[in-house]
Chains A and B, each alone.
Chain A
Amino acid sequence: MFEARMQLRGLRPLKPLFLLVALAFAQSAPAADPALVRKSLARISNTSQEPNYRQPWLPGLTMSSSGTGWVVSKDRILTNAHVVSNARFLTLEKENDPKKYIAEVEHIAHDCDLAVLKVQDPAFFKGTIPLDLGGIPEIETEVSVYGYPIGGDRLSVTRGVVSRVDFRPYAHSGIDSHLTIQIDAAINPGNSGGPVLQKGQVVGVAFQGFSGDVAQNVGYMIPTPVIRRFLTDISDGHYDRYMDLSIATFNTLNPAMRKGLGLPEDDKGVLVSSVASAGVCSGYVKPGDVILAVDALSVASDGTVELEGERVQMAEVAERKFRGDSIQMHLLRDRQIVDVTVPLPQAWPFPMQANQFDVNPTYVLFGGLLFQPLSRNLLSSVQFQNLRLNYFFEAFVPKEIYNEHPEVIVLSNILADPINTYLGEFKESIVEEVNGTPIRTLKDLADSFEKKSEFYVIKFIGNGRPLVLERSTVEAARERIRSRYGVQSELCLDATSR
């Protein structure tokens, strides 16, 4: 959780060195009294359950972890998504209050690592105040980190300065990047979700860092523009996630490139190099188009726009949008000016490359063969050696594998039984079809096995040898396999069922 890994969503070239200007917020509320601030914090204890991808019919390990939260409105607590992920039972504790308050997650945003909690007993909020949200603190100014990190039971405060403001990957989902602020105050496990204050206002939420042997005094917080966007998004009662243009662009710095695309020498425009067919721009923007402006903001040849006085990546324009908004694109297509309005009806629909939480592993077990959809969750529990599997994972978005295989179904394990003695070579293979029917999803696979047939002939991608199972043999082995391996259920098709 604390290892920031560089892993960008395939189709969004995001470059660092990105500055967002502090929103000019009227400082109406007076700076909060530090004693009152301390009363408005909570230690969050999470009893969570990790899904079990190796034996998906079994419940996973139960674990306890703790983090920090703070009062964000009159009856809500804000914290990190990773503090309350996979929660089965949540309790809150306040300073100088012996009671444990039971809480539940109201909204959770895994793409920006934030969550809002409700508390059952309104008494929790007695004596608390909602903390004010500030802007983006200046570099070199001092900030204080509040929280319940390791090293003691009571509230801890550490101090440091703002080191830099940057666009960085968020380790929780593993594929999202947003604005972050780096500070040099000590941030340790348990600090997660805690407020970072400056002059009595919250300027960020501590959320990730490096372990001491990687880098010293590097901690990151989620800045207020990201927090505000989250609060605005959930104000309609539902979190809709970040909108993503799902296009790749390339600079037009090269004079020959500019000439070839019919661009004047004004250092403007970026080449659209690909458009994901499952993304929002599909049908509106074409590969080969040149984006000259988005929402009337002129795009420079290196892909930046000027937003509130700072040069930022064009993606930031989409970053600020909400579901249902639209984005204006001023394009040069075949040397003609084209203006399009791209609606933003939904976020990117295929989350398999992201870490996923609060979902059940889906699977089908047939003849001792365990079939699961390929996902980052699966890959992080089972180390596959197969080149093709790793390729399908990496190429899922850039090569649009989702068009043929919205779910990439893998024979991930074999529960040994006389029925499958000779099938070892098929492990880690990707299912192509069963009895001639293409398999696009796990549901397709379950349906194929449902249909009565003397033989089930499973074809795998890149393997000319079919895997053949006889229905009678499978039926005869069924109870034997179930009881030998303690299989409670032979399939789970709904990731959200509990």
Chain B
Amino acid sequence: MRPTLLLLTALCATAVAPVHAANSALPTAPLPTAAVPPVAASLFTDSRPDFAQNIVRVSITAQPYDFSRPWSKRAPLSRRALGTVLDGKRVLVTAESIANATYIELESPDGEQKQPASVECVDYEADLALLRPESEDFFKSRAGLVFATPQVGDALAVIQLEANGNPLLSKGQMTTAEVVRYPIDDSSFLVGRLSVPLQIRESTQSLPLLKEGKLAGLMLRYDPQSSLLDFIPAAVIEHFLKDAVKSPYEGFPRMGCSFAVTRDPQLRRYLHLNGNNGGVLITQTLKGGPAEKGGLLKGDVLMEIAGKPIDSDGNYRDETYGRISLGHLVCTKHFEGENVKVRFMRDGKMVDAEVPVAHRRPEQFASEPYIIDRAPKYYVLGGLVLQELSRQYLKEFGADWSHKAPLDLVHLDRTQGETNEDGVKRIVMLTRVLPSDVTVGYEDLRHIIVKSINGEAINSLADVPKSLEKATDGLHRIQLSGEPSLLFLDAKSVEAVGPALQRSYGLPALSRLE
């Protein structure tokens, strides 16, 4: 596991501050285009001097949901980011900066122009989003940047804005490119790394990186101690943009399998790989997933993807980045729905097949890896709070959630890939009890998984209302998979207590199933 860099976002996620306070200090005279400082011009010998016109401020007010009180939102917070204008009248930011946004405003560096904006397309896994200002006037004199491919050894400039609107350029060298984790736990993409000392400025998110005046990437995270900056390289952004014109947005495709490296000579001899020097062992295929559809089985040795040989570490030779993980080849060089040719070895024979690569949406997981911009579902049953297990819920236990949250729930979340097939059963839990007349004796129950209600299996929160129609003798019978394993509720009292629960606990509604 590689060291994870600190998120710079942590530095600027402050409480609500007057969003434009800093701007009032701006000089009143607008800066002409030619006001780009000479230092910038000297950095980019063949650059277009108007790049500064394509950097805008983005102010975001966000209000995430409180998953431990799913009927309410947390206090609003504000973030400041930089947006990069692209050709085609769009503004690019990282998805993280606009997560759970309730209001987004674009502002020209000189503070002259302001425009509310909406999210046109967002991919939280690739951490990218496109914004569209209310009026296209905003794009006058902003032609948009074009892309450049960053390569290891390149000098790249990170753009920040001074309070007066002047661009602040920090130059660094790209040291490496590798496939590592993005902010959403389970998604890995290509990351470029830059060694650059960065100054603290107001907008610290979504900073653009330029190569010769062209957009080479967007900052993902920055570690001030090591002065290392991770960025989303142009290749990932361009894939996102090509996808973004489609509706609905599909996302980066995956193979739907996991693999193990085969460097161990004993393992290679056992797998009869003696004559070859590459290949990775398929250790698991997602039920109903792309690899399985393509005929791959656990135990196969994957030798080639799209004509590229795979080495024993799971790398292929990329034209731009050299030996990097096959993950980049699959997800960035292909699109959902494409059939990717693979060659694998089974029982000593080479087999050719095609894998219909696809993106796995968060809703297709038993425990969703992230729930952003969406309200958490819940059902208050006479005071028993029912919710679906998700990693977003577990993250309510804080930064150290994997140690602080109930161990059996963390275990379920982490091992779901071993048991769950694609896109089906959710885990419904009784998360806590809002005490009422109806729940006497049940007050201390917490985090227990619900198996069935009135004999009906509960495989999602949506199953709850149906199951409640099947009460017998006026009682709901709730079967749990954990102590106390069985609960009864009086059906009439459950209905009668609803308004009182809403009043005393301030619930806007007793359930949210959408």
Contacts and interface: CB of A to CB of B under 8 A. Distances in A.
Contacts of A388: 411, 415
Interface in B230-275: 258, 260-261, 263-264, 266-267, 269-270
A468 B270 CA distance: 7
B298 A464 contact: yes
A277 to B, nearest CB: 14
B477 interface: yes
A470 B269 contact: yes
Given A256-B490, A465-B260, A273 B477 contact: no
A232 interface: no
Nearest to A399: B408
Chain B at the A interface: SS class = mixed
B410 interface: yes
Contact of B493 (A256, A274, A287): A256
Interface residues of B, number: 41
B170 interface: no
Contacts of A455: 266, 270
Contacts of B441: 251-254, 257
Nearest to A391: B411
Interface in A458-496: 462-466, 468-470, 473
Contact of B488 (A254, A398, A422, A462): A254
Chain A at the B interface: SS class = mixed
A273 B411 CA distance: 23
A250 interface: yes
B440 A255 contact: yes
Given A423-B264, A464-B283, A260 B414 contact: no
Interface residues of A, number: 39
Nearest to B475: A260
Contact of B407 (A394, A465, A473): A394
A250 B415 contact: no
B439 interface: yes
B473 A259 contact: yes
Contact of B270 (A419, A423, A457): A457
B294 to A, nearest CB: 17
Interface string B412-448: 0011001000000000000000000011111000000
Contacts of A398: 482-483
Nearest to B298: A464
A338 interface: no
A179 B486 CA distance: 31
A421 interface: yes
Contacts of B298: 464
A24 interface: no
A271 interface: yes
A261 interface: yes
Interface in B461-505: 473, 475-477, 482-490, 493
Contacts of B418: 462
A260 B402 contact: no
Contacts of A260: 473, 475, 477, 488
A473 B267 CA distance: 12
Given A390-B407, A395-B408, A462 B485 contact: no
B300 to A, nearest CB: 11
A250 B493 contact: no
Given A259-B475, A394-B407, A470-B266, A253 B483 contact: no
Contacts of B477: 260
A387 B411 contact: yes
29 contacts: A250-B485, A253-B440, A254-B439, A254-B488, A255-B440, A256-B438, A256-B476, A257-B441, A257-B488, A273-B485, A273-B486, A274-B485, A288-B485, A388-B411, A390-B407, A391-B407, A391-B408, A391-B410, A394-B408, A421-B264, A422-B261, A455-B266, A457-B270, A462-B415, A464-B283, A468-B266, A468-B269, A468-B270, A470-B270
